[in-house]
Amino acid sequence: MTAPSPAGTPEPMIRFRGVTKTYSGSAAPAVENLTLDVPRGSITVFVGPSGCGKTTSLRMINRMVEPSSGTITVDGQDVTAVPAATLRRSMGYVMQSSGLLPHRTVLDNIGTVPRLNGASRAAARQRAAELLATVGLDADLGRRYPAQLSGGQQQRVGVARALAADPPVLLMDEPFSAVDPVVRAELQDELLRLQRELAKTIVFVTHDIDEATLLGDRVAVFAEGGRLAQYAPPEELLRAPRDEFVAAFVGRDRGFRHLSFQDGGAVRLHGVQILDPAQLADPRVPVRDGWALAVDADRRPLGWVPAAARGQVTAPEQLVPGGSIYPVGESLRRALDSALSSPSGLGVAVDRAGAVVGCIRPAEVLELIERARMRRGRARHGTAV
Ligand SMILES: Nc1ncnc2c1ncn2[C@@H]1O[C@H](COP(=O)(O)OP(=O)(O)OP(=O)(O)O)[C@@H](O)[C@H]1O
Ligand SMILES: [Mg+2]
């Protein structure tokens, strides 16, 4: 049993209690014994390296994934007591790829859930048109098809669609990861502006600690093995990281801005198994060590092949999409983003032509960043910091 909230503190909107998820066929849990409260009307961010269980945790909230044990309540109600379809419709969901229906116009995409909830076509379109303005898009974009929009515009439409039924809860899974940094910053600002008006309960997933501390009222840092390493407001994470992992992960935020301009040329490159198009197509070519990287004829990266799924992955569209790319010589910040966003845990380093030259490891990039920070501290204060 949990203690009642002190008077004046509203009940949390979402509660995880001892939630574990082990996917069938895997030995280790994707999420382990997660206990956490998501306060009402605020933004809670799940952050951490690839594969640490962020998406799994998010999807258990609307039962896209069922927990193996433990309970989740939304607004006081156990989610397993609500039919999954009803639950899903009662929450907005935004993904990294906008997930828009390609053969429907923008307006009809936005109106999907109101229609499912029984709104007339005219009412749904009316609402959709209002929402276009809410997310900062011109009205005439409403008649276009998703493919006729930029990546940033598509993500805005994704947000509008998630808001269409005016759900109290919004689940967002790396919604801004696939757009370039400038558009990403715009979308982040827009979300904060929207949130000031709408005061939804938002759970937002990212692997970017900068994004997490910018957007989150509270930030949950996940570590490998689906373990919650720390859950606190951003300033507390930065001031008092609970362990080495959190310190390394958030530590880079102090003075992080400077790293954008810093040469990342010293990042060590490691070899990685490469599958050219012919090797990819031939399932007899084994994946030797966990993951292999598929490339095109010009050695540009296409995506990853996990050893366990080698037999099923023989064509580019079956690959596990990679994270961001690290062009050699770019900033440590880009290097870290690449290493943290990769499903294999290895960032892909490319040359000027975009061809793969090797892989980089998150721990090594973090170490370089830490060293750069120390050097800067010494230069400024005449002593190590
Ligand atoms: N449907 C599935 N079946 C089996 N294992 C899965 C499934 N989905 C995820 N996993 C595994 O569970 C673990 C957590 O995955 P999850 O997608 O929750 O991580 P994540 O933190 O969202 O990662 P990313 O940053 O790459 O999106 C990983 O080891 C992953 O391989
Ligand atoms: Mg994920």
Question: Is position 177 within any domain?
Answer: yes
Together in a domain, 302 and 175: no
Closest ligand, as measured to the CA of 306: 1
What mean pLDDT comes out for the span 66-80? 96
Nearest C-alpha to atom 14 of ligand 1 is from which residue? 53
Residue nearest to atom 7 of ligand 1 (CA): 23
Regarding whether 284 and 210 lie in a shared domain, the answer is no
Residue 41 CA, chain-centre distance (Å), reads 20
Nearest CA to ligand 1 atom 27: 50
Residue 12 lies in a domain: yes
Tell me if 335 sits within 8 A of 321, measured CB to CB: no
Q: Taking residues 283-298, report their average pLDDT.
A: 94
Q: Looking at the structure, tell me whether residues 241 and 183 fall in a common domain.
A: yes
Report yes or no on 312 lying in a domain.
Answer: yes
Examine residue 332 and state whether it is found in any structural domain, yes or no: yes
The pair of structure tokens assigned to 199 is 């005061």
Domain edge (last residue) among 254, 288, 321: 254
Domain contains 248 = yes
Distance separating alpha carbons of residues 147 and 103, to the nearest angstrom? 9
Kindly tell me if the per-residue pLDDT of 5 is higher than 80.
no
Distance from Cα 105 to the centre of ligand 2, integer Å = 28
Q: Whose CA is nearest to atom 18 of ligand 1?
A: 53
**pLDDT reported for residue 240:** 85
CATH number where 10 lies: 3.40.50.300
d(CA 368, CA 216): 27
pLDDT of residue 316: 93
Q: Report angle CA 202, 207, 211 to the nearest 5 degrees.
A: 60
- Same domain for 85 and 172, yes or no, is yes
Q: Do residue 302 and residue 204 come from a single domain?
A: no
Residue 371 pLDDT > 80, yes or no?
no
- The whole-number pLDDT of residue 377 equals 55
Q: Which atom of ligand 1 is nearest to the CA of 222?
A: 21
374 touches 255 (CB < 8 A):
no
Q: What value does the mean pLDDT of the chain take?
A: 88
Residue among 16, 21, 26, 342 to mutate when testing ligand 1 (max atoms within 8 A of CB): 26
Residue 308 corresponds to which amino acid? A
Report strand pairing: 14-21 vs 31-38.
Answer: antiparallel
Neighbours of 59 (CB within 10 A): 18
Q: What is the pLDDT of residues 35-48, one digit of tens each?
A: 999 999 999 999 99
C-alpha torsion sign, points 250, 251, 254, 260? negative
* C-alpha 216, offset from chain centre: 13
What is the CA(54)–ligand 2 centre distance, in A?
6
* 320 and 247 together in one domain: no
217-260 pLDDT, tens digit per residue, is 999 999 988 999 999 998 888 778 898 888 888 865 444 544 55
* Residue 381 maps to a domain: no
Using CB distances shorter than 6 Å, the residues near ligand 1 are 23, 26, 30, 48, 50-56, 207, 343
Q: Are residues 204 and 249 part of one domain? A: yes
Q: Please give the average per-residue pLDDT across 325-350, as a whole number.
A: 87
pTM: 0.72
Tell me which residue range forms the domain holding 333: 274-368
319 shares a domain with 240: no
Mean pLDDT score, 296-304: 95
> Is 146 contained in some domain?
no
Same domain, 219 and 176: yes
Residues 49 and 175 in one domain: yes
Q: What is the mean pLDDT of residues 282-307?
A: 95
Q: Which ligand is nearest to the CA of 207?
A: 1
| Same-domain pairing of 323 and 220 | no
How many distinct structural domains can be found in the chain?
2
How many other β-carbons are positioned within 10 Å of the β-carbon of residue 260? 12
Q: Does any domain span residue 140?
A: no
Helix, strand, coil share of the chain (percent; to 5): 40, 20, 40
How sure is the predictor about 385, in pLDDT bands with cuts at 50, 70 and 90?
very low
Q: Whose CA is nearest to atom 25 of ligand 1?
A: 50
Give the Å distance between the CA of 382 and the centre of ligand 1.
Answer: 45
CATH number at residue 306: 3.10.580.10
Same domain, 173 and 69: yes
Nearest of 205, 195, 104 to residue 157 by alpha carbon: 104
Domain stops at, among 254, 282, 310: 254
Cα of 207 from ligand 1 centre, angstroms: 13
